[in-house]
Amino acid sequence: MRVAFRTECALTRTTTSKFIPAPKGQKSVTRYFSPDSEEAETVVGLEAMVLLMRRRRDTMVTVRLGGISELGEEFPIVINMLCPPCPRSALHALVTPSSLPIRLRPRHSLDNSCIILVAPLPKGWLHQHAGQAAANRTQVEEWLEGLWQHYLGATLLMLVGRYSKGNPMAL
């Protein structure tokens, strides 16, 4: 899974429970069963950003199953599957204010991520600075993009989400 999703972190586990949501007003149920049951499933955990970036490249993921033997790498089974969408709760968490302060990286650690997310932005911030005119909004966005390119060496600035029409939630 790490190779298929091009990430260093992919957690897998076998689950022996199934959450069954109930219709509105009724109580949901969790069913438990043995590990050798046909209902047992393998659950793969990935970071939200890994799923987002993977789906931007392609909707299909190729998973190669096999291993390394004395003959070298062997992948006898290749599965092409649809890349799962990023859960809405994870997307919401990316732009929702947190009570936790921004965590600093430990000293001497490396950050290999090529993505910086600035969020949440104050509601209505773009209209405050640019007004209602689309040309002014475009001018502010171009100015911000210039700042990012000049000071951070960024290649792209993207406005993420919307509080309402024309007001992005994040950069």
Q: Is residue 102 part of a domain?
A: no
Q: Is residue 122 part of a domain?
A: yes
Burial class (CB in 10 A: 0-12, 13-18, 19+), 79: exposed
- The answer to whether the CB of 14 falls within 8 A of the CB of 40 is yes
Per the structure, the count of domains in the chain is 1
Q: Is residue 94 part of a domain?
A: no
Among the listed residues 138, 154, 158, 136, the one whose alpha carbon sits nearest the alpha carbon of residue 146: 154
Q: Is residue 4 part of a domain?
A: no
- Given a cut of 70, the residues of the chain with pLDDT beneath it are 96-113, 162-166
Distance from C-alpha of 60 to C-alpha of 134, rounded to nearest angstrom: 37
Q: Is residue 170 part of a domain?
A: yes
Q: Is residue 92 part of a domain?
A: no
DSSP 3-state of 56: helix
pLDDT value at residue 80:
92
Q: How far is CA 81 from the centre of its chain?
A: 18
Task: Encode pLDDT of 122-164 as tens digits.
Answer: 777 788 878 888 888 888 888 888 888 888 788 888 877 766 6
Q: What is the pTM of this model?
A: 0.44
What CA–CA distances, in Å, run from 92 to 43, 50, 87, 162? 22, 16, 9, 11
- The answer to whether the CB of 41 falls within 8 A of the CB of 51 is no
Q: Is residue 167 part of a domain?
A: yes
Its domain, for residue 149, covers 114-171
Q: Is residue 124 part of a domain?
A: yes
pLDDT value at residue 112:
64
158: which 2 tokens? 């993207």
